[in-house]
Amino acid sequence: MSERKVLNKYFPPDFDPAKIPRRKMALDAQHKVRLMAPFSMRCDTCGDYVYKGKKFNARKERVEGENYLGIQIFRFYIRCPKCAAEITFKTDPQNSDYTCEHGAQRNFEPWREETDVNELKKAEKEKEEENNPMKALENRTVASKVEMDILDALDEIRTRNAATERVDVEDVLGRLQDRQRKQVERILQKQDEEDEAIARAIFQTSDDGLAVRRLVDDEGAGATGGFVPPVDALDGIVKVDVKASVAEWGNAASSSGKKRTGGVEGLIVVSKKAKAGSSVKPEAEGKGKEKAAPKPPQAAVGISLLAAYGSDSDEE
């Protein structure tokens, strides 16, 4: 049974390939190939657009009499997908591109225009340098300066990347904690400053060192809509000299003619025990002595009322 794929063919012993005549083929023969559109184009016949990358069954042939530096140029034939009109384009080895030849127009591509402008500028620059050596020297100096700047920027980027690579997780967490701690300290300091400002606004110190509480005007507070703090019974006392009040009370007590200790004993009356045959009650004697003891003058201020009291509490 013969082999199905016929991988090995029989060659007779007297086989000579040189005796086999070569098949004659036309030089301008066309070959069928499968290709994709190398650029987007618009058909001249029907106006349909053929986008880049669309696949076609094309015919390829050599362009006679055209080459670039020994590189053969080829022409391709395709048909419009809508109207079946023939479209031809050929290779362009000089620009590493393709050139639309017949049947369609190539769509505008902005990057191609920029490339063409750059190439024209480069050609003009080379031509100018050939005729002017000083201009060539200046261009080389500028190019070397630009290259040095690029190298410096690259070195800086490498240094920054190296510093970033050395940072570990603990350093990052420590920096975050420091930032949060500074933020909390800033908030606490701001609150302390606000509290001090409120305290200075409420309590003021006079020239003689006495603390004075500022009274808030009801009309002003109502007009401004601010907060009015509660008022105590002693808020009406603006200034109190405690030392002067105590000295005045002591002088008045010493003028009564009785022996006092620290100016306080004159206010206390000790009742003696009544004798067996006496009909006078100790309470009556206490009342008589109480009437005989002069009372110290009351101070004109409200705090002195706290110290100037009688012996009525003893009777009770």
CA atoms in the 13 A half-sphere facing the CB of 134: 0
Q: What does the alpha-carbon distance between residue 100 and residue 208 come to, in Å, rounded to a whole number?
A: 104
DSSP assignment of 184-249: HHHHHHHHHHHHHHHHHHHEEE-TTS-EEEPPPPHHHHHHHT-------TTTT-----HHHHHHHH
Instruction: Judge whether 78 and 58 are in contact, CB under 8 Å.
Output: yes
Q: Is 46 annotated as contributing to ligand binding?
A: yes
Q: Is 100 annotated as contributing to ligand binding?
A: no
Residues 6+ apart with CB under 8 A from 200: none
Q: What does the alpha-carbon distance between residue 312 and residue 290 come to, in Å, rounded to a whole number?
A: 9
What are the binding residues?
43, 46, 80, 83
What are the binding residues for Zn(2+)?
43, 46, 80, 83
